[in-house]
Chain A
Amino acid sequence: MHTATLHALLERVTNGDEEALLQLHAEFNQLVYSVAYHTVQNQMDAEEVAQDVFLKLWHKVETYDPAKGRFVTWLLTITRHTAIDRVRRRRQQTLPLEEWDAPHDNALDNDLADALRTLNDEQRQAIYLAYFQGLSHTQIAEQLGRPLGTVKTHLRQGMDQLRHIWLRERVPHE
């Protein structure tokens, strides 16, 4: 969606235009729903999270500040937090790693997913539990039965690997 179009829609939402919100819903619902589903791992919760997110957008659109980042990032961050809250309430279990390797069609996503596949299973799982399940490194260590230092290393090395690929920088060898 063109930036000018997006900002025009956000302005209309601020003024109470329901049709503008529904246009944003049409544009972003799949992304929102996908992030929600990735965390809560069931359709019903994911639908409820997605609806909550757009209701939050409806009531709190003024809190988005374009100077602080992209709208899609802001929206998906709200989605992640809302989904994690749901998970904490329902005490979801660890995601099977193969769920994160599911194929999909979007060209951009293939590129991003390829980077994730360069991580080893422990790195990928630790990052998933931290970022999509809202666990601290201590909680991850307890859940997986691994030393805390090992979990921190997995998180850091995984993030450095992704940073290296996605930002095209050399990561110093350790």
Chain B
Amino acid sequence: MNEQQLELIPLYALGALSDEEAEQVEALLQSDPEAQRLLAEYQVVTENLLLSVPQQSSASASGALLRAHLRPRRRWPYVVLAAAAALAIIVLATVIASNLGNGDENQAPSTATLFEELATNDDSTLVSIRALNDLPLDGEMVIAADRSQAVIRINGLEELEPTETYQLWLFDASGSNNGGLFSASDPTTYLLVPLEGEIDRFRRFGVSVEPAGGSPRGNRASGRGVFVVDVE
């Protein structure tokens, strides 16, 4: 282990390295016992950093709010998971090459059913949407355990005039991408996100109100924001 590698280890323990530097350290750690020992010592330091923060009092100390949000832990039989996955593939293949279409198509029972099936899987991730412009909305996105599917559920999305439409945007490292047009359903709207792969290449999804036919700016929103949801 040379001096330069030695200097990277405390920064690796802090999580402060670039991806490339972190890979170098990980390669070193696989073969160098001295590097492993040093990292273990720096990890004691980072553990103590966590324990040294000033203590604050939480308003939710009683746990009542946590109790209200608990869903039962369940284990789905493999055959049910396999059936849900097959259904999701059929739905995804139908939707992925085109716009999301109008709200009626998107309200086909399969999208709502897929949301419910994913949401009751313990290994799925649920992320709350964040309403913009003080709109009275709420909802969440469920991300499948294998990160290949995501469905967004929105409560309170209002119906638009015929001259307007909702448009979904997918944000990645290159910017925004059109995710399709859709209309609201009362009381709950379900959106199957057209991922074309794993969700992790995206950092955020958002919805805006656009003229009928979609944003005149191509792959950029032109209208008012409705909500965003971040990929976790």
Give the B-binding residues of A (Cβ under 8 A).
16, 18, 21-22, 25-26, 29-31, 33-35, 37-38, 43, 46-47, 50-51, 54-55, 58-60, 69-70, 72-73, 76-77, 79-80, 85, 89, 99-100, 102-106, 108-109, 112-113, 115-116, 127, 130-132, 134-138, 140, 152, 155-156, 159-160, 162-163, 166-167, 169
A–B Cβ pairs within 8 angstroms, 6 of them: A30-B56, A47-B65, A60-B122, A77-B50, A137-B16, A159-B10
Known: A35-B53, A106-B55, A160-B10. Is A22-B16 also a contact (CB below 8 A)?
A: no
By a CB distance below 8 angstroms, the chain B residues around A29 are: 58, 60-61, 63
Q: A38-B54, A109-B51, A116-B52 are in contact. List 8 more A-B contacts (CB 8 A).
A: A29-B58, A31-B55, A46-B58, A72-B51, A109-B55, A136-B18, A159-B14, A166-B44
Asked whether B48 lies within 8 Å of A166 as measured between CB atoms, the reply is yes
Known: A29-B58, A29-B60, A156-B11. Is A38-B53 also a contact (CB below 8 A)?
A: yes
Nearest-neighbor residue (CB-CB) of A112 within chain B: B52
By a CB distance below 8 angstroms, the chain B residues around A58 are: 70, 73
Cα distance, A119 to B63, chains bound together (Å): 37
Asked whether A34 lies within 8 Å of B56 as measured between CB atoms, the reply is yes
Asked whether B69 lies within 8 Å of A51 as measured between CB atoms, the reply is yes
Nearest-neighbor residue (CB-CB) of A160 within chain B: B10
Contact among A89, A102, A159 with B54 in the assembled complex (CB-CB below 8 Å): A102
Q: B2 at interface (Cβ–Cβ under 8 A)?
A: no
Asked whether A22 lies within 8 Å of B50 as measured between CB atoms, the reply is no
By a CB distance below 8 angstroms, the chain A residues around B60 are: 29, 33, 47, 50-51
Asked whether A21 lies within 8 Å of B66 as measured between CB atoms, the reply is yes
Please report the total number of B residues contacting A with Cβ < 8 Å.
41
By a CB distance below 8 angstroms, the chain A residues around B10 are: 155-156, 159-160, 163
Cα distance, A16 to B57, chains bound together (Å): 28
Cα distance, A25 to B66, chains bound together (Å): 9
Asked whether A152 lies within 8 Å of B11 as measured between CB atoms, the reply is yes
Min CB–CB distance B185 → chain A (angstroms): 28
By a CB distance below 8 angstroms, the chain B residues around A31 are: 51, 55
Contact among B17, B45, B55 with A104 in the assembled complex (CB-CB below 8 Å): B55
Interface string of B107-129 (1 = CB under 8 A from A): 00000000000000011000000
Min CB–CB distance B129 → chain A (angstroms): 13
Asked whether B48 lies within 8 Å of A162 as measured between CB atoms, the reply is yes
Min CB–CB distance B75 → chain A (angstroms): 10
Asked whether A112 lies within 8 Å of B48 as measured between CB atoms, the reply is yes
Nearest-neighbor residue (CB-CB) of B10 within chain A: A159
Nearest-neighbor residue (CB-CB) of B6 within chain A: A156
Asked whether B48 lies within 8 Å of A16 as measured between CB atoms, the reply is no
Contact among B41, B51, B63 with A26 in the assembled complex (CB-CB below 8 Å): B63
Interface residues of B in 8-55 (CB under 8 A from A): 10-11, 13-18, 41-42, 44-55
Cα distance, A162 to B67, chains bound together (Å): 39
Min CB–CB distance B60 → chain A (angstroms): 6
Asked whether B44 lies within 8 Å of A47 as measured between CB atoms, the reply is no
Nearest-neighbor residue (CB-CB) of A80 within chain B: B50
Known: A22-B66, A25-B63. Is A166-B17 also a contact (CB below 8 A)?
A: no
Cα distance, A38 to B89, chains bound together (Å): 43
Q: B230 at interface (Cβ–Cβ under 8 A)?
A: yes
Nearest-neighbor residue (CB-CB) of B128 within chain A: A48
Cα distance, A152 to B4, chains bound together (Å): 11
Q: B134 at interface (Cβ–Cβ under 8 A)?
A: no
Q: B161 at interface (Cβ–Cβ under 8 A)?
A: no
Q: B72 at interface (Cβ–Cβ under 8 A)?
A: yes
